[in-house]
Structure 1
Amino acid sequence: MKHRVMEFSVSHPKWVFWLVGLLTLLALAMIPKIQIDTDPENMLPADNAARVMHEEIKHRFGLSDMMVVGVVNEDHPQGIYNPATLSKLDTLTRAILAMEGIVASDLMSLSTSDNITQKGEGQISFHWMMERAPKTQAHADLIKSYVSRLPMLLNTLVSGDGKVAGIYVPIESKDLSYGLYQQMLTVIEQLPSGHEQYHITGLPVAEDTFGVEMFKQMAISAPAAGLLIFVVMLLFFRSVPLVVAPMLVAMATVIITMGLMIGLGYPVHIMSSMIAIFLMPIAVVDSVHILSEFSDHYRPGVDKKALARRVVNNLFQPMLFTSITSMVGFASLNTADIPPVQVFGSFVAFGIGLAFVLSITLVPAYMASLSDQTLNKMAKRVHDSEEANTPLARFLRHIPAFTMKYSKTLIAMVVMMFAISGWGISKIVINDNPTNWFELEHPIRVADRVLNEHFAGTYQAYLTFTYAGDNTHNQAQQLAERSGLLLQDANDELKQLWHELLTKHGQDINALSQAVLEQQFLADDSQLRYWDGLSTLLEFMSGSSKAFLDPKQLAYVSDVQAALINSGLVGKTTGLPDLLKTVNRELHSGKDRDYQLPASEAVNAQAILTYQSSHRPNDVWHMVTPDYQSAVLWLQLKSGDNQDMTKVLAFMDKWFEAHPLPKGITVDWGGLTYINVVWQDAMVSGMLESLMTSFVVVALMMMVLFRSVAWGLIAMLPLSVTISFIYGLIGLMGKNYDMPVAVLSALTLGMSIDFAIHFIERTRVLVKEQGSWQKGLTQVFEEPGRAISRNAMVIALGFTPLLLAPLVPYQTVGVFLASIMAISCVITLLVLPAILNVLKSVLFNSESKPVSNVSTASTEREVDHA
């Protein structure tokens, strides 16, 4: 089959060009259908339990994701409490309220908040904290005194030191945050100049802004990588027409792969945006091997078609296995239960397979289509410049003697590397934070740093408490039994209607009560008494289960708040107890001594009813559900690092163990900071499973390829050393194990084995041909060694444009991929020969005699005959 494919390619190059061109054009036609997904929440499947609960909590309490705008004034003696700064804050607030995509009723700012004060004995007054911007310093000082008395506002809307004021902007959808961010920046630019600084942060804007900049970077980095690869190959092969071939392979691979993904309806996520960057250097690997051998053996007068067939035939098996192992490495990402990672792994694997097919078809077709004059010029430049005597070639020739002389020393160094790497791996910290995906001086990163230095925290998590009752089924059963007694004299039509309502809303007394209220309005005089009776029954049963009006339950929630604050892990918590304590204080003395929870359920109900007369009555329902069956605490954290959120979770697990939840109460977590922990944990466990599975698969493939357990295990050495060293280095450097680092495991697996396969395959063939281990090894460090070194340099340099990216994940990928290529190449060229030298009597006892390679011999005869 391979012979027919190669024969067709070199005999009908135009057909190959037309076919590849057509596929590329079809793929390009799919690009306009691109869908962009920048939400890390989609790292989790839609039915993931934590994600479902997160959405349920947001829906239950009417919560929205938030952007945080900070106004900083560190120069004025009164901080932000001066007329000029408060005026700008008010102007900015009103401009934001007018933007589309804002949940205006829930926006929190001094301009939209209530001041709660005593009106008289047992009476309370609500008036705007800052209905209009103050004109005098005395008015600004008055606002300061108001804020200092309201714990729910202090350190949330104004920092404790009074130097920063915040605007918490709830948004309808996270994907609107970048557009809103730009609008806010425009408004800020138009504000009068002064001593104020303005900052905008929050996970939604960090994630959405990263998505926008990510696509800009993709449009820059992929072409830059391609250009650099082209330049490096041109230095090696000294022929523009010849170097065009691998570039065509790379571009066709990237375009067809991305077009296929988009055409199939997959959105381009943060992960899949890197597909082009990964494929561009990988796609030229096989082409470099082909070009290297072709340029070394081409001379004027040689049949170019026969030489192309010979070169591809010689390299077919190692190229096939290197491609398969790389595909296995990326395809293994499908074992991770993270949809974007699965898409990324699948399409990179597809792209690698496509690059292999194009390398054995398009490249020989291209070489066969070049004119003899072009190839002769290439040969003259290459051979007249004494390719075999370049600094790289001379350096490689010293390696065989060096490795044989210091074999045991090199092996000992590898053992030491394993030990040090193991120590480094033990120090790895699994951590991520979307805000840290930007460089230190990026405006969002600066905003995050400044605002979290002053505020209780701009990162949010939610802890919910839900009362399920002692037995929900019994409550429904009691409702059915009691209503049956009420309706025993009613007609069948009414009974049937009640049965339908009970079936539909039986688990939600509030919804059932609303449905009964509607029937009361529609009922005639003969039926009204029955609906009135059912309404009274529902009112009684609803009142009997209002868990979070119960002082005992509220006291427990308040204890949880105190524990979280005392832990030092959380900057602030806000919940129903805070509101009740504040209202209770103002209903009594107005003194701190009355800042406590009311003593009875009735007083709690009265306090909430009193708050309903404020300008923001719906704020209550962001803390507790209308049926008082569920309450939520809003946690503010100064850091969005997974490690910090994980510490909060671990602390509360121990606290709940020591202070058991009241009977019938359950707790759940939500919020973007919590969701990031969940998907990061899923990624790490998934990547580890993928790595171990694919490592075993690749090891088995090596044993099959070389028909030897020993050779298979030796081939795994560069891979094993590279993986352990890279991750050990990550641990020793203190670099967090985050999303891009996790994905690198797949590339390490696929690429590190590439050089070993080519080295071992060519070593075995050349030792047979030369009839001597020493002579065979010397020949390996000629053309094969140069090809391996060229490939390592081409790929490593191909990723270096990523180092200039303003996004940290891209920089990480650039650094570590270059390191992977360098380390695996060095291990292959230094350590593998050392091991083969030590084990040569075992490995080459049956291969020391000259044995002609059938395919090589036959193709050589073909070239000579031509």
Structure 2
Amino acid sequence: MNWFARRFADWVVAHRWLIIVGTLLLIVAAAMGMKRLTMSGDYRIFFKPDNPQLQSFDAMQKIYTKSDNVLLVLAPKDENVFTRKNLSALIELTDAAWKTPYSSRVDSVSNYQNSVADGDNLNVADLVSNPNSLTDEDLARIRNIAVHDPLLAKRLVAEDGRVTGINITLQLPGKNKVQEIEKVVKFVNSLHDQFELKHPDVKLYLNGAVMMNNAFLEATRNDMRHLVPYMMGILALVLMLTLRSAPAVGLIFFNIMLSIAAAMGIAGWYDVVLSAPVATAPLTILIMAIADGVHLLSHYGHGLRHGESRVEAMKESIRSSFAPMLFTNVTSALGYLTMNMSDVPPFNTLGNVVAVGIMIAFVITMTLIPVLMLILPAGKINSQEDSKVKWMEIYQEFFLRNRYKMLFGSVLFTIIVGSFVMNNKFDDSFHEYFDESTQFRQSTDFTLKNLTGVYLMDFSIEANEPGGINEPKFLQKTDEFAVWLRQQPEVLHVNTFTDIMKRLNKNMHADNPAEYKLPESRELAAQYLLTYELSLPYGLDLTNQINLDNSATKLTATLHAVHSTEMIALEERANKWLKDHGDGIIKSTGGTGAGLMFAHVGQENGKSMLQGEVIQIMQISVLIMLAIRSFKLGIVSMVPNITPALIAYGIWGMTVGQINMGVAMVGIISLGIVVDDTMHFLSKYLSARREMKRTPEDALRYAFDMAGIPMWISTLTLVCGFLVLASSHFAMNSDMGLVTAITITVAALTEAFMLPGLILLVDRGEKI
């Protein structure tokens, strides 16, 4: 490898203009693909087409009305929905909501189809009309109906009557989901502003699946719009303070821009769809490109300060950096490619784009950056032998005097903190993906606290024949299931067709409360249902609850603010109840819903990432042994490579304990980065031992001199970079950034405290 690296360095220096022209042409050709990049605001992008939960969800939507919706939550400041003024505002907003693009249905307390007996007839009408003409007794009656009706209470009106909601059901064409979502959001935002301006005493909150999709879109745009420039500014400052060379910092950032442009352009040529996770790809490529540039130019500066010419210093920098840098970039790329084991497509895409970007950054660092550095006027690089960094020499001697104390102290610390890893669990809550500063999160939190849940679990309860939903045994079993669900601690509300049938049976018996029960015959049930359906106005029929041939009905459980583990546990109990108590009368394929889909994919993603990390560790361990040609040091290197993630997850277990999809990625993402420090340190150590014939202690001194400062510079820049990512308003990205920053910090400390001691423990001075 040294022979190849030396020949490669000679070739690079001898063909400067060929490299400049050829590299820039290739990058421009690749970057042109960026105009083909598209963006998605559909949360379905987080699921593979063959995902069983997605398939169940889509099947449900084909049978019943689609569940894309916007929920308008009205909170009067006087905390009483049932006043003439507030009901008038509710009716006004309900009527306006019908004008929402792609709306197919609007449900509210005001247009709730209340059925009452009128002699031998069934009278079905809006619960509220002409509120200004209502008496106090009328208002009390309407309030009593609304807060006690099982189809309204805890769903469209709070039990205490303080808050109410308007649910807009949408039928998005799906031709251009982003434009369709933006069109709806633009309309409801305008509706929101106009309503609050006209009714300052009523606060309006926007919620629902479409608003969540829009929140994903905004998260993607905000991260791309703000995080990249913030990160570049902070990292430029860090590099100027550490390298103190404008040409070096300028070339590093030139590398960054070219690498990002080429990687994202190639993604465009492959028709990659941008999502919130994929939006972080430029940030990660940026961070890795900086690490490469710091190592190359630090070694170049070291040569200049030791009297070498610019050309010879650059050749030696390329030669000494080529093998460890190639290895670390390949392992980092492999780490990101392992993300293809994830069950979340955006993470597959993120891994592929970053892997390509990492290798492009390596090629540019090894070719274009050196020749540009030689063409530019000579600059000064102060990174190692300045008086401000003499502390590295002090640390070397301190370590050699206390090597075993530091080694065993590090091991003990790792064992103690690492033991808290077991406190972590794969858990998620998708509304918590967005931090509390976002409008969607604020609206969701208010809705959860004051009105209803945002997590729905739908069940398609199927009979054995067309018209079977009118069979008394079917109705009874369905009602028993609804009663059982209401008893579960996770469930806030259950919307079931059987409640409609009970009310109709009461209506048909002169509104006798004792007759609030299911019809006793199939004929009666069919007659009640037909009469009711004929009385319903356009847009408020029962197609959202009953299929076309009346052979199945949808039952919806609205849940509290539960986490994924609780949601999956409820689903399993519900499926078991249906299996044990269905008696062949009712059957169901199980629960479905957006929240449940995220719950399952989060669990599966965690497991697949754990498997991927094991595979990655095995791959990297074998590669390290082959690269350094030492079994003993290859085994030793595994410890500081595994330790950082172990400690980071231990700290997370002590403080948070909840691993979402972003945090689950950290082990795979960080391992390739962590190996960078290990390989550069081992490379310099072995170079001193094998080529310079130094003792183990002197070889360590040389490794600290050559790799120590670049390692800390790259660590500082990496940590700053990932901390910027941690400022994202999207939890998948922010948590991933924070835990990765912790991991990289621990990695640097491990390289300083643990790895040198392990090396001296196995290297007793014999040939290695």
* TM-score bracket relative to the smaller structure: over 0.9
8 Å CA contact 1:210–1:437 kept in 2: the answer is no
How do residues 177-256 of structure 1 correspond to structure 2 at under 5 angstroms? 177-191=181-195, 192-256=198-262
Q: Give the alignment's TM-score, normalised by structure 2.
A: 0.93
> What's the CA shift for 1:70?
0.5
How is 1:686-701 mapped onto 2 (pairs within 5 angstroms)? 686-701=608-623
Q: Deviations over 1:43-98 (max 9, x none)?
A: 2221323212211111111232222110012524xx11112222222222222211
- TM-fit CA distance, 1:433: 2.8
Question: Does the 8 Å contact 1:237/1:243 carry over to 2?
Answer: yes
Residue aligning to 1:479: none
Shift of 1:547: 2.6
Select which of 550, 572, 591 maps to 2:471: 550
| Structure 2 counterpart of 1:85, one-letter code | N
Tell me, yes or no, if the aligned pair for 1:202 and 1:459 is still in contact at 8 Å.
Answer: no
Question: In structure 1, the residue corresponding to 2:658 is in which secondary structure?
Answer: coil
Aligned partner of residue 127 in structure 1, secondary structure: strand
Distance across 1 between alignment mates of 2:466 and 2:435:
51
SS in 2 for 1:110: coil
Q: Aligned match of 2:438 in 420, 435, 442?
A: 442
Asked if 1 retains the 8 angstrom alpha-carbon contact of 2:38 and 2:274, the reply is: yes
Aligned counterpart, 1:91: 92
Q: Which residue of 2 aligns with 1:311?
A: 317
Residue in structure 1 matching 2:751, options 828, 840, 855: 828
Displacement after TM superposition at 1:799 (Å): 2.7
CA shift, 1:29, in A, is 2.6
Change (3 A) 1:593 1:397: farther
User: Residue deviations 1:617-666, cap 9 Å, x none?
Assistant: 76323222232322220111122632331131132244345535425734
Q: Deviations over 1:420-454 (max 9, x none)?
A: 34432211122223321222242221211221122
Residue 332 (structure 1) aligned to one of 338, 344, 350: 338
The answer to whether the Cα contact below 8 Å between 1:102 and 1:170 also exists between their aligned partners in 2 is yes
Q: Which runs of no fewer than 5 residues in structure 2 stay unpaired?
A: none
- Secondary structure of 1:156 counterpart: coil
Task: For 1:360, give the aligned amino acid.
Answer: M
Alignment-derived partner of residue 283 in structure 2: 277
Q: Please state how far the C-alpha of 1:102 moved relative to its aligned partner.
A: 1.7
Which amino acid letter does the alignment assign opposite residue 584 of structure 2? Answer: P
Task: Give the match for residue 80 of structure 1.
Answer: 81
- 1:167 is paired with a residue of what secondary structure? strand
Q: How far apart, CA to CA, are the structure 2 residues paired with 1:743 and 1:37?
A: 22
- 1:807 maps onto 2:722 in alignment: no
Report how many aligned residue pairs link the two structures: 755
Counterpart AA for 2:623: M
1:365 Cα deviation after fit? 1.0
Aligned to 2:483: 562
For 2:659, what is the secondary structure of its paired residue?
coil
Question: Which residue pairs with 1:623 in the alignment?
Answer: 545
CA distance in 1, matches of 2:132, 2:12: 80
1:423 equivalenced with 2:419 (yes/no): yes
Q: Deviations over 1:725-766 (max 9, x none)?
A: 111222211242112112222211111111011111111212
Distance of 1:63 and 1:231 partners within structure 2: 51
**Counterparts of 1:689 and 1:699 in 2: how far apart (Å)?**
16
Matched, 1:606 2:527: yes
Pairing partner for 2:407 from 407, 411, 416 = 411
Pick from 385, 388, 396 the counterpart of residue 388 of structure 1.
385
Residue by residue over 1:323-344, the C-alpha shift from the partner in whole angstroms, topping out at 9 and shown as x without a partner, is 1111111111122343322221
The aligned residue for residue 38 of structure 1 is 41
Letter in 2 for 1:814: G
695, 700, 720: which one pairs with 1:797?
A: 720
Does 2:456 correspond to 1:463?
no
TM-score, normalised with respect to structure 1? 0.83
The answer to whether the 8 A contact 1:92-1:188 is kept is no
Which of structures 1 and 2 has the bigger CA Rg? 1
Query: What SS does the aligned partner of 1:836 have?
Result: helix
Counterpart CA distance in 1 for 2:407 and 2:527 is 79
| Distance (Å, rounded) in 2 between the aligned partners of 1:433 and 1:227 | 33
Match of 1:50 among 35, 53, 60: 53
Residue 759 of structure 1 pairs with residue 681 of structure 2? yes
- 2:164 aligns with 165
1:793-829 C-alpha deviation (Å, 9 max, x unpaired): 1111223333443333333233222212211011011
State the distance in 2 between where 1:762 and 1:23 align. 33
| 2:329 partner letter | S
Q: Write the letter of the residue equivalent to 2:123.
A: S
Q: Which moved more, 1:144-153 or 1:655-664?
A: 655-664
Helix, strand or coil at the partner of 1:578: helix
Cα distance 1:137–1:317, how it changes in 2: closer, same or farther (>3 A)? farther
**AA partner of residue 511 (structure 2):** G
Residues 650-665 of structure 1: pairs in structure 2 closer than 5 A: 650-656=572-578, 658-662=580-584, 665=587
Q: Give the 3-state SS of the residue equivalent to 1:781 in structure 2.
A: helix
1:322/1:60 CA distance change after superposition, 3 Å: same
Quote the residue 1:498 is aligned against.
Answer: none
Distance (whole Å) between structure 2 residues aligned to residue 839 and residue 220 of structure 1? 48
Residue 118 in 1 paired to residue 117 in 2?
A: yes
Letter in 2 for 1:44: F
- State the percentage of identical aligned residues: 19
Q: Does structure 2 conserve the Cα–Cα contact (< 8 Å) formed by 1:279 and 1:348?
A: yes
Say if 1:30 and 1:262, in contact at 8 Å, map to a contact too: yes
The one-letter code of the counterpart of 2:643 is V
Compared with structure 1, are the counterparts of its residues 134 and 730 closer, same or farther at alpha carbon in structure 2 (3 Å cutoff)? Answer: farther
Letter of the 1:565 counterpart: R
Residue equivalent to 1:475: none
Residues 339-381 of structure 1: per-residue CA shift (max 9 Å, x gap): 322221112111111111111101211122123xx33xx16xx
| Aligned equivalent of 2:559, options 637, 643, 662 | 637
- Bigger CA drift: 677-686 or 132-141? 132-141
Compute the RMSD of aligned alpha carbons: 2.3
Contact map agreement 1:114 1:614 (CA 8 A) in 2: no
What letter matches 1:126 in structure 2? V
Aligned to 2:632: 710
Per the TM alignment, residue 149 of structure 1 is displaced from its structure 2 partner at its CA by 5.3
Shift of 1:599: 0.9
1:63 maps to which residue?
Answer: 66
Moved more, 750-759 or 189-198: 189-198
Residues 109-131 of structure 1: CA deviation (Å, up to 9, x unaligned): 1343212111114x311011234
CA contact (8 A) 2:632 2:762 kept: no
Confirm or deny: 8 A CA contact 2:490 2:562 kept in the other structure.
Answer: no
Equivalent position of 2:107 in the other structure: 108
Distance 1:463 1:640, change over 3 A: same
Contact 2:73 2:204 in 1 (8 A): yes
Is the alpha carbon distance of 1:306 and 1:411 closer, same or farther for their aligned partners in structure 2, counting shifts above 3 Å? closer
